[in-house]
Structure 1
Protein backbone atom coordinates (compact mmCIF):
# COMPACT_ATOMS: atom_id res chain seq x y z
CA UNK A 1 0.00 0.00 0.00
CA UNK A 2 2.64 2.50 -1.04
CA UNK A 3 0.05 4.60 -2.88
CA UNK A 4 -2.12 7.08 -0.93
CA UNK A 5 -5.11 5.32 -2.51
CA UNK A 6 -3.95 1.89 -1.34
CA UNK A 7 -6.27 1.78 1.69
CA UNK A 8 -9.22 2.93 -0.44
CA UNK A 9 -8.59 0.26 -3.10
CA UNK A 10 -8.20 -2.44 -0.43
CA UNK A 11 -11.48 -1.42 1.15
CA UNK A 12 -13.31 -1.47 -2.21
CA UNK A 13 -11.87 -4.91 -3.01
CA UNK A 14 -12.91 -6.46 0.29
CA UNK A 15 -16.36 -4.91 -0.05
CA UNK A 16 -16.79 -6.51 -3.47
CA UNK A 17 -15.67 -9.90 -2.13
CA UNK A 18 -18.11 -9.67 0.79
CA UNK A 19 -20.99 -8.82 -1.52
CA UNK A 20 -20.36 -11.85 -3.74
CA UNK A 21 -19.87 -14.29 -0.86
CA UNK A 22 -22.94 -13.29 1.15
CA UNK A 23 -25.12 -12.93 -1.98
CA UNK A 24 -24.43 -16.55 -2.97
CA UNK A 25 -24.43 -17.94 0.59
CA UNK A 26 -26.55 -15.71 2.84
CA UNK A 27 -26.77 -18.45 5.49
CA UNK A 28 -23.04 -18.37 6.25
CA UNK A 29 -22.98 -14.71 7.29
CA UNK A 30 -22.17 -14.59 11.04
CA UNK A 31 -24.44 -12.84 13.50
CA UNK A 32 -21.60 -10.42 14.22
CA UNK A 33 -19.43 -9.34 11.28
CA UNK A 34 -17.12 -6.31 11.55
CA UNK A 35 -14.30 -5.35 9.20
CA UNK A 36 -11.63 -2.63 9.11
CA UNK A 37 -9.95 -2.71 5.66
CA UNK A 38 -8.75 -6.38 5.64
CA UNK A 39 -9.04 -7.18 9.38
CA UNK A 40 -12.31 -8.99 10.13
CA UNK A 41 -14.00 -9.74 13.47
CA UNK A 42 -16.82 -12.33 13.54
CA UNK A 43 -18.84 -14.28 16.08
CA UNK A 44 -19.11 -17.99 15.20
CA UNK A 45 -20.28 -21.02 17.14
CA UNK A 46 -17.51 -23.40 16.00
CA UNK A 47 -14.14 -23.26 14.29
CA UNK A 48 -15.66 -25.22 11.38
CA UNK A 49 -17.93 -22.25 10.64
CA UNK A 50 -14.88 -19.97 10.53
CA UNK A 51 -13.00 -22.29 8.16
CA UNK A 52 -16.08 -22.63 5.94
CA UNK A 53 -16.36 -18.85 5.69
CA UNK A 54 -12.64 -18.57 4.85
CA UNK A 55 -12.98 -21.12 2.04
CA UNK A 56 -15.82 -19.12 0.49
CA UNK A 57 -13.75 -15.94 0.69
CA UNK A 58 -10.82 -17.69 -1.02
CA UNK A 59 -13.06 -18.78 -3.91
CA UNK A 60 -13.92 -15.17 -4.74
CA UNK A 61 -10.54 -13.51 -4.15
CA UNK A 62 -6.81 -13.96 -4.63
CA UNK A 63 -5.99 -13.33 -0.97
CA UNK A 64 -4.67 -15.74 1.64
CA UNK A 65 -6.67 -15.60 4.88
CA UNK A 66 -5.46 -16.48 8.38
CA UNK A 67 -7.51 -16.64 11.54
CA UNK A 68 -7.10 -16.50 15.30
CA UNK A 69 -9.56 -17.89 17.83
CA UNK A 70 -10.41 -16.46 21.22
CA UNK A 71 -8.67 -17.69 24.35
CA UNK A 72 -10.41 -17.46 27.73
CA UNK A 73 -13.20 -15.41 26.11
CA UNK A 74 -10.66 -12.79 24.94
CA UNK A 75 -9.48 -11.85 21.45
CA UNK A 76 -7.31 -8.88 20.38
CA UNK A 77 -8.66 -6.93 17.40
CA UNK A 78 -7.00 -3.76 16.08
CA UNK A 79 -5.13 -3.12 19.35
CA UNK A 80 -8.36 -3.54 21.31
CA UNK A 81 -8.90 -6.50 23.64
CA UNK A 82 -12.45 -7.79 23.09
CA UNK A 83 -14.04 -9.65 26.02
CA UNK A 84 -17.01 -11.93 25.38
CA UNK A 85 -19.73 -12.47 27.99
CA UNK A 86 -22.91 -14.50 27.77
CA UNK A 87 -24.87 -11.65 26.18
CA UNK A 88 -22.50 -9.04 24.75
CA UNK A 89 -18.98 -7.96 23.84
CA UNK A 90 -16.99 -5.32 25.68
CA UNK A 91 -13.69 -3.67 24.80
CA UNK A 92 -10.69 -2.37 26.77
CA UNK A 93 -8.51 0.05 24.81
CA UNK A 94 -5.12 1.55 25.68
CA UNK A 95 -4.69 5.28 25.95
CA UNK A 96 -5.15 6.68 22.48
CA UNK A 97 -2.32 9.09 23.08
CA UNK A 98 0.12 6.21 23.58
CA UNK A 99 -0.98 4.82 20.24
CA UNK A 100 0.07 7.93 18.37
CA UNK A 101 -3.26 9.73 17.93
CA UNK A 102 -3.07 13.55 18.20
CA UNK A 103 -4.74 14.93 21.32
CA UNK A 104 -6.58 17.51 19.21
CA UNK A 105 -8.14 14.80 17.06
CA UNK A 106 -9.22 12.78 20.13
CA UNK A 107 -10.86 15.84 21.71
CA UNK A 108 -12.64 16.71 18.46
CA UNK A 109 -14.12 13.21 18.03
CA UNK A 110 -15.28 13.10 21.64
CA UNK A 111 -16.84 16.56 21.31
CA UNK A 112 -18.75 15.58 18.16
CA UNK A 113 -20.01 12.37 19.74
CA UNK A 114 -21.17 14.20 22.85
CA UNK A 115 -22.90 16.92 20.81
CA UNK A 116 -24.74 14.31 18.73
CA UNK A 117 -25.82 12.45 21.86
CA UNK A 118 -27.09 15.61 23.53
CA UNK A 119 -29.06 16.63 20.43
CA UNK A 120 -30.63 13.16 20.16
CA UNK A 121 -31.28 12.85 23.93
CA UNK A 122 -32.22 16.30 25.23
CA UNK A 123 -32.70 16.58 28.97
CA UNK A 124 -36.29 16.36 30.14
CA UNK A 125 -35.97 19.43 32.34
CA UNK A 126 -33.98 22.54 31.55
CA UNK A 127 -31.53 23.57 34.23
CA UNK A 128 -31.86 26.96 35.85
CA UNK A 129 -28.24 27.81 35.12
CA UNK A 130 -26.47 28.42 31.81
CA UNK A 131 -22.74 27.77 31.84
CA UNK A 132 -20.44 29.43 29.32
CA UNK A 133 -16.91 28.06 28.87
CA UNK A 134 -14.08 30.28 27.71
CA UNK A 135 -10.63 28.96 26.81
CA UNK A 136 -7.92 31.46 27.66
CA UNK A 137 -4.13 31.53 27.29
CA UNK A 138 -2.15 31.43 30.51
CA UNK A 139 -0.12 34.53 31.26
CA UNK A 140 1.13 36.51 34.25
CA UNK A 141 -1.93 38.76 33.99
CA UNK A 142 -4.49 35.97 33.82
CA UNK A 143 -6.52 37.35 36.77
CA UNK A 144 -7.06 40.66 35.03
CA UNK A 145 -8.04 38.79 31.85
CA UNK A 146 -10.64 36.79 33.75
CA UNK A 147 -12.19 39.90 35.25
CA UNK A 148 -12.37 41.58 31.83
CA UNK A 149 -13.94 38.53 30.13
CA UNK A 150 -16.56 38.08 32.86
CA UNK A 151 -17.41 41.77 32.76
CA UNK A 152 -17.88 41.75 28.98
CA UNK A 153 -20.15 38.67 29.08
CA UNK A 154 -22.31 39.88 31.98
CA UNK A 155 -22.72 43.32 30.40
CA UNK A 156 -23.68 42.04 26.95
CA UNK A 157 -25.24 38.59 27.46
CA UNK A 158 -28.39 37.82 29.41
CA UNK A 159 -30.71 34.77 29.46
CA UNK A 160 -34.21 35.11 28.03
CA UNK A 161 -35.65 33.68 31.23
CA UNK A 162 -34.97 36.12 34.06
CA UNK A 163 -34.92 33.21 36.55
CA UNK A 164 -31.99 31.59 34.77
CA UNK A 165 -28.51 32.33 36.05
CA UNK A 166 -25.49 32.84 33.87
CA UNK A 167 -22.22 31.20 34.88
CA UNK A 168 -18.84 31.76 33.21
CA UNK A 169 -16.05 29.21 33.54
CA UNK A 170 -12.62 30.15 32.20
CA UNK A 171 -10.17 27.30 31.70
CA UNK A 172 -6.58 26.99 30.58
CA UNK A 173 -4.90 24.25 28.63
CA UNK A 174 -1.18 24.51 28.12
CA UNK A 175 1.57 21.98 27.49
CA UNK A 176 2.80 22.39 31.06
CA UNK A 177 -0.64 21.71 32.55
CA UNK A 178 -1.15 18.62 30.35
CA UNK A 179 2.25 17.26 31.43
CA UNK A 180 1.40 17.69 35.10
CA UNK A 181 -1.93 15.93 34.64
CA UNK A 182 -0.25 12.95 32.97
CA UNK A 183 2.40 12.67 35.70
CA UNK A 184 -0.17 12.81 38.50
CA UNK A 185 -2.74 10.61 36.77
CA UNK A 186 -4.56 8.14 39.00
CA UNK A 187 -5.27 5.83 36.07
CA UNK A 188 -3.82 2.30 36.32
CA UNK A 189 -0.50 1.77 34.52
CA UNK A 190 -0.62 0.77 30.85
CA UNK A 191 -0.70 -2.98 30.24
CA UNK A 192 2.67 -4.18 28.97
CA UNK A 193 1.00 -5.60 25.84
CA UNK A 194 -0.21 -2.10 24.96
CA UNK A 195 3.24 -0.50 25.23
CA UNK A 196 4.71 0.98 22.03
CA UNK A 197 8.30 1.65 20.90
CA UNK A 198 9.89 -1.18 22.88
CA UNK A 199 12.64 -3.78 22.56
CA UNK A 200 11.21 -7.10 23.72
CA UNK A 201 12.52 -10.59 24.45
CA UNK A 202 10.71 -13.92 24.08
CA UNK A 203 12.06 -16.98 25.92
CA UNK A 204 11.02 -20.48 24.84
CA UNK A 205 10.31 -22.68 27.88
CA UNK A 206 9.06 -25.79 26.07
CA UNK A 207 10.99 -29.05 26.52
CA UNK A 208 14.78 -28.79 26.48
CA UNK A 209 14.59 -25.09 25.64
CA UNK A 210 13.82 -24.39 29.30
CA UNK A 211 17.45 -25.38 30.05
CA UNK A 212 19.03 -24.02 26.86
CA UNK A 213 17.73 -20.48 27.35
CA UNK A 214 16.47 -20.20 23.75
CA UNK A 215 15.53 -16.57 23.19
CA UNK A 216 14.38 -14.10 20.54
CA UNK A 217 14.95 -10.34 20.68
CA UNK A 218 13.15 -7.81 18.49
CA UNK A 219 11.61 -4.33 18.52
CA UNK A 220 8.29 -2.81 17.55
CA UNK A 221 7.06 0.73 17.09
CA UNK A 222 3.42 -0.39 17.33
CA UNK A 223 1.87 -2.08 20.37
CA UNK A 224 3.47 -5.26 21.65
CA UNK A 225 0.10 -6.99 21.34
CA UNK A 226 -0.03 -6.26 17.60
CA UNK A 227 3.55 -7.50 17.15
CA UNK A 228 2.66 -10.75 18.96
CA UNK A 229 -0.24 -11.23 16.55
CA UNK A 230 2.23 -10.94 13.65
CA UNK A 231 4.49 -13.56 15.23
CA UNK A 232 1.54 -15.96 15.49
CA UNK A 233 1.12 -15.83 11.71
CA UNK A 234 4.76 -16.30 10.64
CA UNK A 235 8.34 -15.68 11.66
CA UNK A 236 11.31 -17.20 13.45
CA UNK A 237 9.46 -17.85 16.71
CA UNK A 238 6.60 -19.71 15.01
CA UNK A 239 9.07 -21.80 12.96
CA UNK A 240 11.10 -22.56 16.10
CA UNK A 241 8.06 -23.98 17.94
CA UNK A 242 7.05 -26.02 14.90
CA UNK A 243 10.52 -27.36 13.97
CA UNK A 244 11.92 -27.92 17.46
CA UNK A 245 8.81 -28.96 19.38
CA UNK A 246 6.23 -29.89 16.73
CA UNK A 247 3.58 -27.55 18.16
CA UNK A 248 1.76 -24.53 16.80
CA UNK A 249 2.61 -21.23 18.46
CA UNK A 250 -0.31 -19.88 20.48
CA UNK A 251 -0.91 -16.49 22.03
CA UNK A 252 -0.51 -17.78 25.58
CA UNK A 253 3.03 -18.94 24.71
CA UNK A 254 3.91 -15.39 23.66
CA UNK A 255 2.10 -13.56 26.45
CA UNK A 256 3.55 -15.59 29.33
CA UNK A 257 7.15 -15.60 28.08
CA UNK A 258 7.61 -12.18 26.47
CA UNK A 259 9.14 -9.32 28.45
CA UNK A 260 10.04 -5.72 27.64
CA UNK A 261 13.76 -4.95 27.80
CA UNK A 262 13.82 -1.28 26.81
CA UNK A 263 11.29 1.45 26.02
CA UNK A 264 12.58 4.19 23.69
CA UNK A 265 10.45 6.68 21.75
CA UNK A 266 13.29 7.71 19.44
CA UNK A 267 13.00 5.32 16.47
CA UNK A 268 16.70 5.43 15.61
CA UNK A 269 17.80 4.77 19.20
CA UNK A 270 15.18 2.00 19.41
CA UNK A 271 16.83 0.16 16.49
CA UNK A 272 20.25 0.70 18.05
CA UNK A 273 19.10 -0.73 21.40
CA UNK A 274 17.75 -3.81 19.61
CA UNK A 275 21.08 -4.29 17.83
CA UNK A 276 23.04 -3.89 21.07
CA UNK A 277 20.92 -6.50 22.89
CA UNK A 278 21.13 -8.96 20.00
CA UNK A 279 24.91 -8.56 19.81
CA UNK A 280 25.44 -8.90 23.58
CA UNK A 281 22.82 -11.57 24.35
CA UNK A 282 23.19 -13.58 21.09
CA UNK A 283 19.63 -14.98 21.12
CA UNK A 284 19.58 -18.34 19.34
CA UNK A 285 16.15 -17.95 17.71
CA UNK A 286 17.13 -14.77 15.88
CA UNK A 287 18.16 -15.21 12.22
CA UNK A 288 19.22 -11.90 10.74
CA UNK A 289 22.06 -9.85 9.37
CA UNK A 290 24.02 -7.56 11.61
CA UNK A 291 22.35 -4.13 11.36
CA UNK A 292 24.16 -1.91 8.87
CA UNK A 293 23.40 1.45 10.46
CA UNK A 294 23.29 0.73 14.20
CA UNK A 295 26.72 -0.60 15.20
CA UNK A 296 29.52 0.72 12.99
CA UNK A 297 32.07 -1.65 14.51
CA UNK A 298 29.97 -4.63 13.44
CA UNK A 299 29.29 -3.62 9.83
CA UNK A 300 30.20 -6.21 7.26
CA UNK A 301 32.69 -5.32 4.47
CA UNK A 302 31.12 -4.49 1.12
CA UNK A 303 30.01 -7.69 -0.57
CA UNK A 304 30.55 -9.91 2.48
CA UNK A 305 27.87 -12.48 3.32
CA UNK A 306 26.47 -12.10 6.82
CA UNK A 307 23.73 -14.72 6.89
CA UNK A 308 20.08 -14.95 5.95
CA UNK A 309 17.94 -11.87 6.47
CA UNK A 310 14.26 -12.48 6.89
CA UNK A 311 13.42 -9.07 8.27
CA UNK A 312 10.36 -7.27 7.04
CA UNK A 313 10.48 -3.71 5.77
CA UNK A 314 7.69 -2.14 7.79
CA UNK A 315 8.08 -0.12 10.95
CA UNK A 316 7.52 -3.14 13.21
CA UNK A 317 10.56 -4.91 11.72
CA UNK A 318 12.44 -7.18 14.01
CA UNK A 319 14.39 -10.20 12.86
CA UNK A 320 11.82 -12.72 11.79
Structure 2
Protein backbone atom coordinates (compact mmCIF):
# COMPACT_ATOMS: atom_id res chain seq x y z
CA UNK A 1 0.00 0.00 0.00
CA UNK A 2 1.37 3.41 -0.95
CA UNK A 3 1.59 6.05 1.80
CA UNK A 4 -0.94 8.88 1.73
CA UNK A 5 0.37 12.05 0.10
CA UNK A 6 -1.59 15.30 0.25
CA UNK A 7 -2.05 17.35 -2.90
CA UNK A 8 -0.40 20.29 -1.18
CA UNK A 9 2.78 18.23 -0.76
CA UNK A 10 2.58 17.06 -4.38
CA UNK A 11 2.33 20.70 -5.53
CA UNK A 12 5.23 21.78 -3.28
CA UNK A 13 7.44 18.91 -4.46
CA UNK A 14 6.55 19.61 -8.09
CA UNK A 15 7.40 23.31 -7.78
CA UNK A 16 10.78 22.48 -6.24
CA UNK A 17 11.56 20.07 -9.09
CA UNK A 18 10.42 22.63 -11.67
CA UNK A 19 12.69 25.28 -10.16
CA UNK A 20 15.63 22.90 -10.44
CA UNK A 21 14.84 22.71 -14.17
CA UNK A 22 14.55 26.51 -14.44
CA UNK A 23 10.82 26.30 -15.16
CA UNK A 24 8.98 29.15 -13.48
CA UNK A 25 5.34 29.19 -12.40
CA UNK A 26 4.45 32.86 -12.19
CA UNK A 27 1.29 32.29 -10.15
CA UNK A 28 -0.49 29.25 -8.72
CA UNK A 29 -3.52 28.80 -6.45
CA UNK A 30 -5.56 25.75 -5.43
CA UNK A 31 -9.11 25.15 -4.22
CA UNK A 32 -9.99 21.54 -3.34
CA UNK A 33 -9.16 19.67 -6.59
CA UNK A 34 -8.86 22.68 -8.90
CA UNK A 35 -5.56 24.42 -9.59
CA UNK A 36 -5.09 27.67 -11.49
CA UNK A 37 -1.60 28.56 -12.68
CA UNK A 38 0.05 31.13 -14.94
CA UNK A 39 2.95 29.61 -16.89
CA UNK A 40 4.70 29.93 -20.22
CA UNK A 41 3.01 28.07 -23.07
CA UNK A 42 6.18 26.10 -23.92
CA UNK A 43 6.39 24.73 -20.34
CA UNK A 44 2.82 23.45 -20.02
CA UNK A 45 3.37 19.81 -21.01
CA UNK A 46 6.54 19.48 -18.91
CA UNK A 47 4.77 20.92 -15.85
CA UNK A 48 1.91 18.44 -16.23
CA UNK A 49 4.39 15.57 -16.61
CA UNK A 50 6.25 16.51 -13.41
CA UNK A 51 3.01 16.92 -11.43
CA UNK A 52 1.87 13.44 -12.49
CA UNK A 53 5.20 11.84 -11.58
CA UNK A 54 4.82 12.63 -7.88
CA UNK A 55 2.23 9.95 -7.03
CA UNK A 56 0.77 7.15 -9.14
CA UNK A 57 -2.72 7.52 -7.65
CA UNK A 58 -2.92 11.30 -7.98
CA UNK A 59 -3.05 12.32 -11.61
CA UNK A 60 -3.84 15.75 -13.03
CA UNK A 61 -5.58 16.72 -16.25
CA UNK A 62 -5.00 19.91 -18.17
CA UNK A 63 -7.26 22.64 -19.47
CA UNK A 64 -5.66 25.43 -21.49
CA UNK A 65 -6.98 28.88 -22.21
CA UNK A 66 -9.08 29.25 -25.34
CA UNK A 67 -9.45 32.65 -27.03
CA UNK A 68 -7.47 34.20 -24.14
CA UNK A 69 -9.89 33.02 -21.47
CA UNK A 70 -10.26 30.11 -19.05
CA UNK A 71 -12.77 29.16 -16.33
CA UNK A 72 -11.78 28.58 -12.71
CA UNK A 73 -14.53 27.81 -10.18
CA UNK A 74 -17.21 30.56 -10.50
CA UNK A 75 -15.14 32.97 -12.55
CA UNK A 76 -13.94 33.21 -16.12
CA UNK A 77 -10.52 34.82 -16.42
CA UNK A 78 -9.86 36.93 -19.52
CA UNK A 79 -6.43 38.00 -20.71
CA UNK A 80 -6.56 41.36 -22.45
CA UNK A 81 -3.62 43.68 -23.20
CA UNK A 82 -1.42 41.97 -20.59
CA UNK A 83 -4.11 42.42 -17.97
CA UNK A 84 -6.43 39.89 -16.34
CA UNK A 85 -10.14 40.56 -16.10
CA UNK A 86 -12.73 38.37 -14.39
CA UNK A 87 -16.28 37.56 -15.29
CA UNK A 88 -18.93 35.54 -13.50
CA UNK A 89 -19.01 32.03 -14.92
CA UNK A 90 -21.56 29.24 -14.89
CA UNK A 91 -21.45 26.09 -16.97
CA UNK A 92 -24.07 25.15 -19.54
CA UNK A 93 -25.79 22.52 -17.35
CA UNK A 94 -26.33 24.81 -14.32
CA UNK A 95 -29.93 24.54 -13.06
CA UNK A 96 -30.26 28.25 -12.13
CA UNK A 97 -32.52 27.21 -9.24
CA UNK A 98 -32.96 29.27 -6.09
CA UNK A 99 -35.77 29.68 -3.53
CA UNK A 100 -38.89 30.17 -5.63
CA UNK A 101 -40.82 33.40 -5.12
CA UNK A 102 -44.03 31.40 -4.47
CA UNK A 103 -42.49 29.00 -1.94
CA UNK A 104 -43.58 29.03 1.70
CA UNK A 105 -40.55 30.85 3.07
CA UNK A 106 -40.39 34.25 4.76
CA UNK A 107 -39.90 37.12 2.33
CA UNK A 108 -36.70 38.16 4.11
CA UNK A 109 -35.12 34.79 3.30
CA UNK A 110 -36.19 34.86 -0.35
CA UNK A 111 -35.06 38.47 -0.72
CA UNK A 112 -31.65 37.86 0.87
CA UNK A 113 -31.06 34.77 -1.25
CA UNK A 114 -31.68 36.76 -4.43
CA UNK A 115 -29.61 39.74 -3.23
CA UNK A 116 -26.68 37.50 -2.29
CA UNK A 117 -26.81 35.91 -5.75
CA UNK A 118 -26.85 39.31 -7.45
CA UNK A 119 -24.02 40.58 -5.22
CA UNK A 120 -21.92 37.54 -6.08
CA UNK A 121 -22.36 38.06 -9.83
CA UNK A 122 -21.53 41.77 -9.63
CA UNK A 123 -18.51 41.27 -7.36
CA UNK A 124 -16.97 38.68 -9.71
CA UNK A 125 -17.53 40.73 -12.86
CA UNK A 126 -15.32 43.36 -14.39
CA UNK A 127 -17.30 46.55 -15.33
CA UNK A 128 -17.05 45.59 -18.99
CA UNK A 129 -19.28 42.52 -18.37
CA UNK A 130 -21.82 44.08 -16.00
CA UNK A 131 -24.53 44.85 -18.55
CA UNK A 132 -24.50 41.35 -20.06
CA UNK A 133 -24.60 39.81 -16.59
CA UNK A 134 -27.43 42.08 -15.54
CA UNK A 135 -29.54 40.53 -18.30
CA UNK A 136 -28.52 37.03 -17.14
CA UNK A 137 -29.47 37.88 -13.56
CA UNK A 138 -32.91 39.07 -14.61
CA UNK A 139 -33.47 35.92 -16.65
CA UNK A 140 -32.46 33.55 -13.81
CA UNK A 141 -34.44 35.34 -11.10
CA UNK A 142 -37.46 35.59 -13.42
CA UNK A 143 -37.31 31.81 -13.99
CA UNK A 144 -37.77 31.45 -10.24
CA UNK A 145 -41.10 33.34 -10.47
CA UNK A 146 -39.94 36.75 -9.17
CA UNK A 147 -41.99 39.61 -10.71
CA UNK A 148 -40.12 42.04 -12.97
CA UNK A 149 -40.67 44.99 -10.63
CA UNK A 150 -39.32 43.02 -7.66
CA UNK A 151 -36.25 41.99 -9.66
CA UNK A 152 -35.36 45.62 -10.43
CA UNK A 153 -35.73 46.51 -6.73
CA UNK A 154 -33.52 43.58 -5.70
CA UNK A 155 -30.79 44.59 -8.16
CA UNK A 156 -30.85 48.18 -6.90
CA UNK A 157 -30.73 47.00 -3.29
CA UNK A 158 -27.75 44.72 -4.02
CA UNK A 159 -25.83 47.53 -5.74
CA UNK A 160 -26.50 49.97 -2.90
CA UNK A 161 -25.48 47.34 -0.35
CA UNK A 162 -22.15 46.82 -2.13
CA UNK A 163 -21.51 50.58 -2.15
CA UNK A 164 -22.23 50.86 1.58
CA UNK A 165 -20.18 47.86 2.69
CA UNK A 166 -16.99 49.87 3.13
CA UNK A 167 -18.74 52.33 5.44
CA UNK A 168 -20.09 49.73 7.88
CA UNK A 169 -18.49 49.67 11.34
CA UNK A 170 -18.92 46.79 13.74
CA UNK A 171 -19.28 47.36 17.46
CA UNK A 172 -17.32 44.46 18.97
CA UNK A 173 -18.59 45.25 22.45
CA UNK A 174 -22.15 44.15 21.60
CA UNK A 175 -22.79 40.57 22.63
CA UNK A 176 -25.55 39.18 20.46
CA UNK A 177 -27.51 35.97 20.85
CA UNK A 178 -28.52 34.12 17.67
CA UNK A 179 -31.38 31.66 17.41
CA UNK A 180 -33.45 29.88 14.76
CA UNK A 181 -37.24 30.24 14.53
CA UNK A 182 -39.58 28.05 12.49
CA UNK A 183 -41.41 30.19 9.93
CA UNK A 184 -45.20 30.30 10.38
CA UNK A 185 -47.04 33.05 8.43
CA UNK A 186 -48.73 35.64 10.68
CA UNK A 187 -47.23 34.02 13.77
CA UNK A 188 -43.42 34.09 13.49
CA UNK A 189 -43.01 36.57 10.63
CA UNK A 190 -40.70 39.57 11.07
CA UNK A 191 -43.50 41.99 11.96
CA UNK A 192 -44.95 39.80 14.71
CA UNK A 193 -41.59 38.82 16.18
CA UNK A 194 -40.49 42.46 16.13
CA UNK A 195 -43.35 43.27 18.50
CA UNK A 196 -42.51 40.38 20.82
CA UNK A 197 -38.70 40.61 20.90
CA UNK A 198 -37.71 44.02 22.23
CA UNK A 199 -34.08 43.13 22.95
CA UNK A 200 -31.79 44.39 20.16
CA UNK A 201 -29.09 41.88 21.19
CA UNK A 202 -31.28 38.92 20.21
CA UNK A 203 -31.02 38.06 16.52
CA UNK A 204 -33.17 35.41 14.88
CA UNK A 205 -33.34 33.72 11.51
CA UNK A 206 -36.17 31.71 10.04
CA UNK A 207 -35.70 28.02 9.38
CA UNK A 208 -37.94 25.58 7.43
CA UNK A 209 -40.29 23.09 9.08
CA UNK A 210 -39.52 20.22 6.78
CA UNK A 211 -35.94 19.05 6.63
CA UNK A 212 -34.40 15.93 5.14
CA UNK A 213 -33.89 14.63 8.67
CA UNK A 214 -37.64 14.88 9.34
CA UNK A 215 -38.67 13.36 6.01
CA UNK A 216 -36.48 10.26 6.04
CA UNK A 217 -36.13 7.70 8.80
CA UNK A 218 -32.69 6.65 10.00
CA UNK A 219 -31.24 4.07 7.65
CA UNK A 220 -28.94 2.69 10.31
CA UNK A 221 -29.77 1.49 13.78
CA UNK A 222 -27.83 2.69 16.79
CA UNK A 223 -24.50 0.89 17.15
CA UNK A 224 -24.38 -1.41 20.15
CA UNK A 225 -21.69 -0.54 22.69
CA UNK A 226 -20.05 -3.91 22.18
CA UNK A 227 -19.52 -3.07 18.49
CA UNK A 228 -17.63 0.16 19.18
CA UNK A 229 -13.87 0.31 18.60
CA UNK A 230 -11.11 2.49 20.11
CA UNK A 231 -12.72 2.91 23.52
CA UNK A 232 -11.81 3.36 27.17
CA UNK A 233 -14.18 1.19 29.21
CA UNK A 234 -15.13 0.42 32.80
CA UNK A 235 -16.18 -2.97 34.29
CA UNK A 236 -17.58 -3.16 37.84
CA UNK A 237 -17.05 -6.03 40.28
CA UNK A 238 -20.23 -7.55 41.76
CA UNK A 239 -18.43 -9.36 44.59
CA UNK A 240 -19.98 -12.67 45.63
CA UNK A 241 -23.05 -13.90 47.52
CA UNK A 242 -21.71 -12.97 50.94
CA UNK A 243 -19.65 -9.93 50.06
CA UNK A 244 -20.26 -6.84 47.96
CA UNK A 245 -17.43 -5.10 46.15
CA UNK A 246 -17.20 -1.57 44.83
CA UNK A 247 -14.00 -2.07 42.85
CA UNK A 248 -13.88 -1.22 39.15
CA UNK A 249 -11.53 -2.11 36.32
CA UNK A 250 -10.67 0.45 33.64
CA UNK A 251 -9.19 -0.67 30.35
CA UNK A 252 -8.79 0.33 26.72
CA UNK A 253 -9.04 -1.54 23.45
CA UNK A 254 -8.60 -0.79 19.78
CA UNK A 255 -10.80 -3.72 18.77
CA UNK A 256 -14.54 -4.08 19.31
CA UNK A 257 -15.44 -3.81 22.99
CA UNK A 258 -17.41 -7.08 22.80
CA UNK A 259 -14.27 -8.95 21.66
CA UNK A 260 -12.25 -7.60 24.60
CA UNK A 261 -15.03 -8.43 27.09
CA UNK A 262 -15.15 -12.02 25.83
CA UNK A 263 -11.41 -12.27 26.50
CA UNK A 264 -11.97 -10.99 30.05
CA UNK A 265 -14.72 -13.59 30.53
CA UNK A 266 -12.45 -16.39 29.32
CA UNK A 267 -9.60 -15.24 31.61
CA UNK A 268 -11.99 -15.15 34.58
CA UNK A 269 -13.35 -18.62 33.76
CA UNK A 270 -9.85 -20.09 33.54
CA UNK A 271 -8.69 -18.14 36.63
CA UNK A 272 -5.80 -16.52 34.79
CA UNK A 273 -3.78 -13.56 36.07
CA UNK A 274 -3.34 -11.86 32.71
CA UNK A 275 -4.96 -8.58 33.86
CA UNK A 276 -5.68 -6.86 37.17
CA UNK A 277 -9.36 -7.72 36.63
CA UNK A 278 -8.69 -11.45 36.15
CA UNK A 279 -6.36 -11.48 39.16
CA UNK A 280 -8.90 -9.71 41.37
CA UNK A 281 -11.70 -12.11 40.39
CA UNK A 282 -9.53 -15.22 40.89
CA UNK A 283 -8.04 -14.10 44.22
CA UNK A 284 -11.32 -13.01 45.82
CA UNK A 285 -13.68 -15.45 44.08
CA UNK A 286 -15.71 -12.50 42.81
CA UNK A 287 -17.73 -12.05 39.63
CA UNK A 288 -17.63 -9.11 37.22
CA UNK A 289 -20.62 -7.24 35.81
CA UNK A 290 -19.63 -7.78 32.16
CA UNK A 291 -23.19 -7.18 30.92
CA UNK A 292 -23.10 -3.55 32.06
CA UNK A 293 -19.60 -2.60 30.91
CA UNK A 294 -19.54 1.17 30.45
CA UNK A 295 -17.80 3.21 27.75
CA UNK A 296 -15.99 6.22 29.20
CA UNK A 297 -14.27 7.60 26.09
CA UNK A 298 -14.02 7.01 22.36
CA UNK A 299 -10.68 8.04 20.86
CA UNK A 300 -9.11 6.77 17.60
CA UNK A 301 -5.59 7.99 18.36
CA UNK A 302 -3.73 5.32 20.32
CA UNK A 303 -1.48 7.53 22.44
CA UNK A 304 -4.31 9.84 23.42
CA UNK A 305 -6.56 6.86 24.23
CA UNK A 306 -3.85 5.36 26.47
CA UNK A 307 -3.50 8.72 28.23
CA UNK A 308 -7.26 8.88 28.76
CA UNK A 309 -7.17 5.39 30.27
CA UNK A 310 -4.50 6.49 32.76
CA UNK A 311 -6.47 9.63 33.63
CA UNK A 312 -9.63 7.61 34.21
CA UNK A 313 -7.73 5.29 36.54
CA UNK A 314 -6.25 8.26 38.38
CA UNK A 315 -9.69 9.82 38.61
CA UNK A 316 -10.99 6.66 40.34
CA UNK A 317 -7.77 5.75 42.16
CA UNK A 318 -9.56 4.84 45.41
CA UNK A 319 -11.65 2.08 43.86
CA UNK A 320 -9.74 1.10 40.69
CA UNK A 321 -8.24 -2.39 40.84
CA UNK A 322 -5.71 -1.62 38.09
CA UNK A 323 -1.99 -2.14 38.66
CA UNK A 324 0.04 0.75 40.04
CA UNK A 325 2.20 1.00 36.90
CA UNK A 326 -0.92 1.92 34.92
CA UNK A 327 -0.73 5.44 36.39
CA UNK A 328 2.98 5.86 37.03
CA UNK A 329 3.33 8.49 34.29
CA UNK A 330 -0.03 10.19 34.83
CA UNK A 331 -0.29 13.31 36.97
CA UNK A 332 -3.39 13.45 39.17
CA UNK A 333 -3.63 17.17 38.38
CA UNK A 334 -5.08 16.32 34.96
CA UNK A 335 -7.76 13.96 36.25
CA UNK A 336 -10.12 16.84 37.03
CA UNK A 337 -10.06 17.94 33.38
CA UNK A 338 -12.19 15.00 32.24
CA UNK A 339 -15.69 13.89 33.16
CA UNK A 340 -17.57 10.63 32.85
CA UNK A 341 -19.68 10.13 29.71
CA UNK A 342 -22.81 8.54 31.19
TM-score by length of 2: 0.30
- The structure having more radius of gyration, on CA atoms, is 2
When normalised by structure 1's length, the TM-score is 0.32
